[in-house]
Amino acid sequence: MNRMKANDAYIKRLSFGRAIRKFRERKNMSQEDLALSAQMDRSYVGRVERGEKSVSLDKIWQLCTALEATPAELFSAALVLEQHFKRLGSGISRRRKQ
């Protein structure tokens, strides 16, 4: 994957993760609370929120159920954040665990 496509994929993951964090914080939930409700590990939720992990469709449904949100609401928020991050351009540092 070339560098531009890799960065675009990272921005999409980061945008989706930040949308999850936004919804979680609105419900006054900790990562642990969300993880328990969505039946997943807290560290997984953290990696998703930081844009380090791609999320399967099954996991998206689990997160939406736990957050009492629709996928459309979550993706709409992610799209807004994606546009914001793209405007920032290279100001986004890419941190990934190898």
**Domain-located, residue 20:** yes
Q: Which pairs with CB-CB distance under 8 Å and at least 24 residues apart come from 90-98?
A: 92/10, 92/11, 92/14, 94/7, 94/10, 95/50, 95/52, 96/10, 96/52, 97/52
pTM for the full predicted model: 0.82
**Domain-located, residue 26:** yes
What total number of domains does the chain contain?
Answer: 1
pLDDT tens-digit series, residues 40-83: 999 999 999 999 999 999 999 999 999 999 999 999 999 999 99
Q: Can you give the residue range of the structural domain that contains 75?
A: 3-86
**Domain-located, residue 9:** yes
**Residues of the chain with pLDDT > 90: what percent?**
77
